[in-house]
Structures are given as structure tokens and as C-alpha cells.
Amino acid sequence: MNWESDGKEIKSLAVEKYNSVTRTVTGMGYYFREGITWGAISSADLSVRYFPSGYCFTNAGMCGFGDEANLRLSACFMNSKVVWSLLKILTPTLNFGPNQISLLPASKADSLLKKTSALFCDLLSLSKSDWDAFETSWDFTTLPLLHPDTRQPTLAASYASLRARWQQMTDEMQRLEEENNRIFIDAYGLQDELDADVPLTKITLTCNPAYRYRGNDDLEGKLCADTMREFLSYAVGCMFGRYSLDAPGLILANQGETLADYLARVPNPTFTPDEDNVIPILNGDWFPDDITERFRLFLRTTFGEAHFRENLRSIEEALGKDIRKYFTKDFYADHVKRYKKRPIYWMFASPKGSFQALIYMHRYREDTVSVVLNDYLRAFTLKLEGHRRAQEALSISPEASQSQRTKAIKEIEKVSKQITELEAWERDVLFPLASRKQAIDLDDGVKVNYPKFGAALKKIVGVS
């Protein structure tokens, strides 16, 4: 949202279209103030969330404002069983607009203000801690698996330690929500009508598998697998310099930043990011900076050489496949889903996927496509041609067994098809794109920038 110069551009558009600012730009007096918000329409329980100062709002999310004490009280009250029971009577259509919410018999008794203030802070702290544990949070600092309070000698032990902490958080959240219910049930004299119990499926923490995977089997297996995927995602972030094992939060996140910028902020890194912002994802060890090799190095760096094989096995067992297969087949789909079809890592991919390479959009420069073309695609094609020649020699070698010669002939056919695919992709797509030196502006967002690369990037439905 462009609110530069007090929303000058937005207001002028409103005047141009409707001859009025306030017809479409409403509630400006409350912009950027802290408040509480909830969905205007819901078939589930009313769910009220606090937001700090610095945000705007639309009519899709109702908002309430007030002083700090009353905001805390209102959030606790509206998230209680008392309010949900009343709303089912007051608004059976499940519309939660200001007209419906204003009918609630809210109390501002000093006793309630006192009881809910500390409770609100504890509930908010747990919710924020849970949210900030994931890299899509603006306040994400480091991966929980690698936090000093969690990390153990092995990945499995670290996960067990983290899982225990998550369970404590869930149990504490459940206890606090039930205490919140009791406060308002007692205040409104509804002890004979309502109980304070809150089932685990209603504890809306992402670290709570009963909520996160409700209705699914094997909750623990899904949580472990997703935690390992988050570890892999964080590892890729460290490979590109977005994150660092030595400093919290974002490191490289401005347009066109380089390894030099990273080293200026992290002079002696434990794990050094990729220099050219191109990480190939291939079926085989064709490049020293291949993503699988880079991850193996990351795993050794974070958990040591002594437990490397054990740790790698833990990851592969959780994922249900070997690490290279995960990176070549699943990683990018997981990344696109994690970032809700607005990926920050972009995958250059030939039509049949014989060649794949990731770049980090924040480090993109106008020569990045040329690096992909010259240092990786053409180099890979040459490697394939060398491999084909070796297989051709093997296929006619008198010293080779019949099975070896047969296997070599099949390999020649497969590699020849790959070379043909890559040569056509280079000629029709990548070379013209590299010659164009395509520019992007991060402020335009992924939806505008991603399609500029056409068939060079892996297709994302709804974006490319």
C-alpha cells in the first residue's frame, strides 16, 4: 500500500473515480494505530487478534481501537466462550460487523481489567513466539532447531527438545485460554450454562499438531517432516545469504546485494553463502555448489561431522526420500506454498527439468541470467556431452559385459534427449533473455517481476 505523502496517490485516484476520498478510503483517523481485528464473516468461532501500531485495514477485517487496558480486556472478552455463545443468539447469520459486535454486553469493571491485563500479555507472548519461529514472520530471527536452548548433538535429539518445548507452549496456552473462559463465565454468572474447557484442536498455535493438522492421521509424523522441511528452507536461506548462522534476522534483503555486502556485515562467517547467487539443482554431482552438496556442508557445519550420517538419515526418514530427490522434485513446490505463490527464490528450469537452478530474487542483477547461461547451463551441456562420449565408448568396449553395454546404450539415448532439450531452451529462451539484461524492481513484487522471465522460470499457476 502506497501511503507516501499521507496517501496522496491513493486519495487522488479516489477523487478521480468517485469525486470523493472518504467514499472508498475510510477510517483514516485510525490508520497506523494499535488495535484488535477479527473476520467479518466466519462459520467458526470468533477469533480476535491484536495488532501493534503501523498497520492499515479494510472492511474484510473488522477492527476495534481504544486505550491499552480496554484493548486487552476486549480481546480477552471477545475470545471467550461467553461471547461465542452470545453471538450464536445475537447474529445467527455469523456476520460479525460493528452492528452485531456492538450488541455484546461488554463490561469495563476494574476487576476484569486487572485480571485480563496480565493474562492478555501471556497469551500474546506465546502466540508471537509461535508465529516468529517461522521464516515468513517479519520478526523471524533464527530457526528454533538451531537455537542454543534447543540444539543438541544430533538433529533427532534437537527435534525432541524442540517438540517438548512446543508441547509446553501448547499446554500453557490451553491453560491460559481456559482461565480466560473461567474469568468471564464467573463474571457473567454462567457457571451452570458453560464450561471453561478448550480442546487441543482449538489451540491455534502452529507448533500444535492437533490444530495444524486437525482431521489428519499421524500428526507427529507430519510435524516432524514439516520441521525438517523448515530446516532445509533455512539452510537454503543461509546458502544465499538471506540468513546467517552468526547473526539474527535478515542479512541480505536489498536489491542487488552481493557476497561482499554479506561479508561486510558478517566478516568471518561460519557458513559462507554462494558467491554468484546461482545454485544448481540437478540429478547428480555435476557442480561443486550443487544444492545437495551445499546442504551436506551446511549439515556438517551446524551439527558436526561425527553425527553427519545419522543426522542425514533422520532428515531422509522424516521426508520419506533421499535428500537429492527432495531438492530436485519437492523443494520448489514447498517453497512456493510456504510463500503463498510469492517465492523469494526463483527456479530457472528447462521444459522437462533436465536443468534446474535457483537464484535469490533480492540478489538478482541484470547479469544473473548470463551467469546461469554461461557458467551453468552451457557448462552442464558440455559435461553431458562428455558423459555421452564416455557411454558411447563403453557401449562398444570389448571389455564391457553385455549388461554394461546395454545400460550404456540406454544412457546415451537419455542424455542425447537432455542435450537436445537444453540446446533448444538455450536458443529459444535463455540466450534471448540474457541478451536483454532484464531489469526488475523489488518494489513491484513477485507477481509483476516473475512473469518477465517467461519460460526461463518454472511455471507457477496464477503468477507466471
Domain map (residue ranges) of the chain:
32-216, 221-385+421-456
Percent of the chain whose pLDDT exceeds 90: 81
Q: Contact, 73 vs 108, CB < 8 A?
A: yes
Of 376, 374, 371, 378, residue with least CA distance to 276 = 371
How far is 178 from 195, CA to CA, in rounded Å? 9
Q: Contact, 279 vs 357, CB < 8 A?
A: yes
Lowest mean pLDDT, pick from 120-124, 160-164, 176-180, 216-220: 216-220
Q: What is the pLDDT of residue 39?
A: 83
Q: Contact, 415 vs 384, CB < 8 A?
A: yes
Please report which confidence band the pLDDT of residue 195 belongs to, taking 50, 70 and 90 as the band edges: very high
Let me know if 402 is exposed, middle or buried by CB neighbors in 10 A (0-12, 13-18, 19+). exposed
Averaged pLDDT, 331-337: 97
Let me know if 387 is exposed, middle or buried by CB neighbors in 10 A (0-12, 13-18, 19+). middle
Q: Report helix, strand or coil for 290.
A: coil
CA 280 to chain centre: 21
Q: What are phi and psi of 35, to 5 degrees?
A: -170, -165
Q: What is the pLDDT of residue 434?
A: 97
Give exposure, 134-166, as e/b (b: 16+ Cβ within 10 Å). bbeeeebebbbbbeeebbeebbbbbbebbbebb
* Three-point CA angle 273, 275, 277, nearest 5°: 90
**pLDDT at 418 exceeding the cut of 90:** yes
How far is 147 from 142, CA to CA, in rounded Å? 7
Tens digit of each residue's pLDDT (9 = 90 or more) over 278-318: 999 999 999 999 999 999 999 999 999 999 999 999 999 99
Averaged pLDDT, 312-341: 97
Q: Report helix, strand or coil for 140.
A: coil
- Between the alpha carbon of residue 15 and those of residues 5, 23, 24, 31, 393, the distances in Å are 16, 9, 9, 19, 75
Please report which confidence band the pLDDT of residue 25 belongs to, taking 50, 70 and 90 as the band edges: confident
Task: Report the C-alpha dihedral over residues 61, 63, 68, 71, rounded to 10 degrees.
Answer: -90
Rounded to the nearest integer, the mean pLDDT of the chain is 93
Whole-structure pTM value: 0.92
Of 47, 86, 52, 58, residue with least CA distance to 71 = 52
**pLDDT at 428 exceeding the cut of 80:** yes
Q: What is the pLDDT of residue 90?
A: 81
**pLDDT at 88 exceeding the cut of 90:** no
Residue with the bigger pLDDT between 365 and 114: it is 365
- Between the alpha carbon of residue 278 and those of residues 235, 239, 287, the distances in Å are 15, 10, 11
CB half-sphere exposure, 228, CA atoms < 13 A:
27
Let me know if 13 is exposed, middle or buried by CB neighbors in 10 A (0-12, 13-18, 19+). middle
Please report which confidence band the pLDDT of residue 96 belongs to, taking 50, 70 and 90 as the band edges: confident
Q: What is the pLDDT of residue 43?
A: 66
Specify the DSSP element, H or E, that contains 62: strand 61-64
Percent of the chain whose pLDDT exceeds 70: 100
Q: What is the pLDDT of residue 57?
A: 84
**pLDDT at 16 exceeding the cut of 70:** yes
**pLDDT at 382 exceeding the cut of 90:** yes
Please report which confidence band the pLDDT of residue 220 belongs to, taking 50, 70 and 90 as the band edges: very high
Of 232, 171, 224, residue with least CA distance to 199 = 171
Averaged pLDDT, 443-462: 95
Averaged pLDDT, 335-342: 97
Averaged pLDDT, 269-286: 96
